[in-house]
Amino acid sequence: MAAANGTTSARFLRTTGQHATIEPDAFTDGAYVLSIGGAEQSHVNLSKPGEIFYEYLRRIGNIVDLAAPSGEPIRALHLGAGALTLARYIQATRPGSEQYAVELERELLDFVLQQLPLPAGTRLTTLIGDARDSLAELPGGLLFDVIILDIFSGPEAPEHIACAEFYQEAAARLGHGGVLIVNVGDEPGLTLVRSQVAALRRAMTDVAAFAERGMFEGRYPGNIILTGTQTPWPAPWTDELMARGPYPALVLAGVELDTLSA
């Protein structure tokens, strides 16, 4: 029986050798939690896809909100699909958007689409494979307003993705004014964050970091959202992101970001 009918469902993932489960959120009607290997990975509210529960995903959603005029359809590429929370959010807030999602785990993507169907009208093309390889497999001339990379879940990041060369290839897939958004999960010390700031700076005109204020102290693990732009970082975006939260929020851009340089 489908998880969307109120039961817990499971699927074995051959690539990682772990089990994925989807179960109802005990505290929110119509919401479900995707876990992999017993660790929560994604949260989806089927009844209100415009609401985002996880803090770091909410921050990414806030950046997507600024990438184009409110409500305007965009073309988005998701590298790392998860439960497609952000694809659902974009469809809810920007109906008619054209989206692509790349996921390494075929079983995971099939499982999510079967158990948690996408909203009616969602235009989503799915690809199975490596995030970097998939960039070259996309139709020639296909450019995006937003590219979201949500693969790094710890200090051990794939070297062929956590590098300037990959970001340069991704940047080549951005249309005029497009943004590259990277979720970096890291440990205290922020070694991976620092290396990714340096790599993104080699690929994009400007880079900003957005997170809960305490994350920048490097004392505990968590997520920092990096955003690469093709023009100097728009100063109004800093104020807007700080106002939207979640709180307490901090945005580092320009010389302020030098404190996170590798």
Split at pLDDT 50, 70, 90, the class of 68 is: very high
Which stretch of DSSP H or E encloses residue 132? helix 131-137
pLDDT at position 101 over 80: yes
3-state class (DSSP) for residue 130: coil
The tens digit of pLDDT for each residue in 200-221 reads 999 999 999 999 999 999 889 9
Host domain of residue 239: 50-260
pLDDT at position 57 over 50: yes
Residue 117: which CATH number?
3.40.50.150
In a domain, 28, yes or no: no
pLDDT at position 45 over 90: yes
In a domain, 22, yes or no: no
> CB of 259 within 8 A of CB of 217?
no
Look at the chain and report how many structural domains it folds into.
1
In a domain, 66, yes or no: yes
In a domain, 78, yes or no: yes
> Minimal CA–CA distance to 129: which of 151, 148, 103, 147?
103
The tens digit of pLDDT for each residue in 138-190 reads 998 999 999 999 987 666 788 899 999 999 999 999 999 999 999 999 999 99
The model carries a pTM of 0.94
Phi-psi region of 177 (alpha: psi -120 to 50; beta: other; left: phi over 0): left
In a domain, 71, yes or no: yes
In a domain, 164, yes or no: yes
User: What's the pLDDT score for residue 111?
Assistant: 94
In a domain, 86, yes or no: yes
In a domain, 27, yes or no: no
Residues 6+ apart with CB under 8 A from 255: none
What does the angle CA 146 – CA 126 – CA 168 come to, to the nearest 5 degrees? 40
